[in-house]
Amino acid sequence: MARRGFRSGRALLAIGALGGLLPGCTTLRVPARIPDFPAGELVRTSVEQVALEAFPVEGREANWELFDDYLPEVGIAAVWVSVRNDRGAAVDLTGLRWELKLGSKVAASLGRDEVLKRFYKGRKVRMYSLAADRSARDALERVLFRPGKLAPGARASGFVFLKLDPGQISSWARNGVLVGRGARLQDGRQIELRAPLGERPKRRSGAETSPDFPHADP
């Protein structure tokens, strides 16, 4: 059934509860393709002509529209990021590592397997089929941000997932700073990408959150 807000074709991460251990089938869904986020609501920063755009998936509605679950509740924050190389030479993002700074606390990013492990634990999924688990990992891999070398004018985009503590659920998108460390310029210098998530422009009253994408359940 279609919902208002974010819409995209989605790949079902079919993590099924077996043996009556859970009252029903627990599933996590991710977009089958990266949706177009509203340009007017992105956090935009730039350093040494390397541009960063970020969109924190904040609140219950946005999380349910994209993932059919409220991920902060299970200790996961999702941020869509895009890095664009506006320089005249390549930028190496191979060593780029993301983290979320909240005051004096620093939360590390989560890899594909860590996202699922945290989801299973948070939703108390104790048993699932190997085929469903493999399908889930493949689907997540397709939407994760993939660091690599960026040619002049090129862009890399995807989701970054980060650890959240229970006390950070309501504050991470307002007070957190997304930090990317380890990007290297052609001359060998390293740069740090930073996006203060709380500086995201607010949506105008009555404006659409994003274009209308068809929802396709398998």
Q: How far apart are CA 54 and CA 63, in angstroms?
A: 16
CA nearest neighbour of 193 among 110, 114, 103, 86 = 86
pLDDT in the model for residue 44:
97
SS3 state at 57: coil
Indicate if the pLDDT at residue 204 is higher than 70: no
* Cβ(181)–Cβ(96) below 8 Å: yes
The whole-model pTM stands at: 0.81
**Quick one: what percent of the chain has pLDDT higher than 70?**
80
pLDDT in the model for residue 26:
55
Across the range 124-143, mean pLDDT stands at 83
* Cβ(28)–Cβ(119) below 8 Å: yes
Which amino acid, one-letter code, is at 169? I
pLDDT in the model for residue 131:
78
pLDDT in the model for residue 13:
44
- Per DSSP, helices labelled H in 55-198 are 59-67, 112-122, 130-143, 172-175
Least confident of 65-74, 77-86, 178-187, 201-210: 201-210
pLDDT in the model for residue 29:
77
Indicate if the pLDDT at residue 216 is higher than 90: no
Q: How far apart are CA 197 and CA 175, in angstroms?
A: 7
SS3 state at 140: helix
Q: How far apart are CA 212 and CA 194, in angstroms?
A: 30
* Cβ(139)–Cβ(82) below 8 Å: no
Across the range 152-161, mean pLDDT stands at 96
CA nearest neighbour of 43 among 55, 35, 32 = 55
* Cβ(187)–Cβ(133) below 8 Å: no
| Domains of the chain by residue range | 10-198
Least confident of 43-57, 108-122, 132-146: 132-146
Indicate if the pLDDT at residue 28 is higher than 70: yes
pLDDT in the model for residue 92:
98
Condensed to tens digits (0 to 9), the pLDDT of residues 164-195 reads 998 999 999 999 999 999 999 999 999 999 99
pLDDT in the model for residue 24:
39
Higher pLDDT, 143 or 1: 143
The domain made up of 10-198 has a fold known as Immunoglobulin-like (2.60.40)
Higher pLDDT, 127 or 1: 127
